[in-house]
């Protein structure tokens, strides 16, 4: 992904537009303002600049109805995501930075990573496809390896699975999850789910009764599970 004649601010907007489409299905002015920590008029102004970039539009603006990325915009967003996630893994594996702190570091480093360094890091890590949170790392060509996963809140009671992705970047939240043993690759079994997006009770690993924890629905929905192979998906057989 050698391109990206975009400023840091532009890269940041494009990345957040991509991520909003991924987790909310759309990107509005307000949502972008919240995620970027700026006011709505700043977002509108930047969207206009991105829409009339001199080497072709990076976004399509539907006034009053949000914004989405052009092919060029997606390419820039995926490059930033690749940088971000490679850096997260690198910091975690090679410098022992804890998983709840790699995100903020990567957010600053991703914009100044050269293609050469990107390549060296990828090679050193063995061309990984997932970062320390289970987020997929796009390939050099911008391809994301698809993986089958369901949210913890969508699992049937009694089902067992492996935690494969935490869809949440905030340090304190990640720290809390880790304190309960809810980390990547850990096996969990659903004990109960309160209806209407309520509390999920899970057993962690193969442990006894003190490895059972109750999680609020808002938290649990950010935990993604790869079903155990010989488990029917979503049905209770």
Partner DNA sequence: TCCTGAATTTAGACTCATCTAAATATAAGG
Partner DNA sequence: CCTTATATTTAGATGAGTCTAAATTCAGGA
3-state secondary structure the chain: CCCCCCCHHHHHHHHHHHHHHHHHCCCCHHHHHHHHCCCHHHHHHHHHHHHCCCCCCCEEECCCCCEEECHHHHHHHHHHHHHHHHHHHHHHHHHCCCCCCHHHHHHHHHHHCCHHHHHHHHHHCCCCCECCCCCECCCCCCCCCCCCCEEHHHCCCCCEEEEEEECCCCHHHHHHHHHCCCCCCCEEEEEEECCCCCCEEEEECCCCHHHEEEECHHHHCCEEEEECCCCCCCCCC
User: Using CB under 7 A as the criterion, what x/- string covers residues 168-207 for binding DNA?
Assistant: ----------------------------------------
Residue 94 interacting with its own copies (CB under 8 A): yes
| 9-28: contacts with DNA (CB under 7 A) | 9-10, 28
Q: How far is the CB of 134 from Mn ion (least distance, A)?
A: 8
| 104-123: contacts with its own copies (CB under 8 A) | 105, 108-109, 111-112, 114, 116-117, 120-121
Residue 135 interacting with Mn ion (CB under 5 A): yes
Q: Which of the stretches 63-71, 87-95, 170-178, 186-194 binds DNA when contact is defined by CB under 7 A?
A: 63-71
Given 7, 127, 175, 179, the residue binding DNA (CB under 7 A): 7
Residue 110 interacting with Mn ion (CB under 5 A): no
Residues of the shown chain interacting with its own copies in the complex, contacts defined by CB under 8 A:
91, 94-97, 101, 105, 108-109, 111-112, 114, 116-117, 120-121, 124
Residues of the shown chain interacting with Mn ion in the complex, contacts defined by CB under 5 A:
1, 79, 88, 115, 118, 131, 133, 135
Residues of the shown chain interacting with DNA in the complex, contacts defined by CB under 7 A:
7-10, 28-31, 36-49, 61, 63-66
């Amino acid at each position: 992904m050698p391109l990206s004649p975009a400023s840091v601010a532009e890269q940041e907007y494009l990345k957040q537009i991509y991520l909003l489409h991924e987790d909310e299905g759309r990107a509005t002015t307000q949502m972008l303002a919240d995620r970027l920590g700026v006011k709505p008029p700043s977002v509108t102004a930047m969207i206009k600049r991105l829409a009339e970039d001199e080497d072709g539009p990076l976004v399509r603006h539907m006034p009053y109805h949000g914004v989405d990325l052009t092919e060029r915009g997606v390419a820039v967003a995926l490059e930033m995501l690749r940088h971000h996630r490679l850096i997260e893994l690198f910091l975690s594996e090679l410098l022992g930075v804890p998983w709840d702190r790699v995100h903020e570091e990567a957010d600053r480093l991703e914009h100044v990573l050269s293609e050469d360094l990107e390549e060296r890091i990828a090679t050193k890590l063995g061309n990984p496809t997932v970062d320390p949170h289970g987020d997929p790392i796009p390939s050099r060509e911008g391809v994301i390896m698809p993986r089958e996963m369901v949210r913890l809140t969508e699992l049937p009671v009694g089902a067992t699975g492996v935690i494969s992705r935490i869809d949440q970047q905030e340090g304190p939240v990640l720290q809390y999850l880790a304190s309960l043993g809810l980390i990547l690759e850990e096996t969990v079994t659903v004990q109960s789910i309160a209806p209407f997006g309520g509390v999920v009770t899970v057993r962690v690993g193969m442990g006894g009764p003190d490895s059972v924890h109750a999680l609020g629905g808002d938290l649990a929905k950010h935990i993604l599970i790869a079903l155990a192979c010989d488990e029917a998906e979503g049905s209770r057989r």
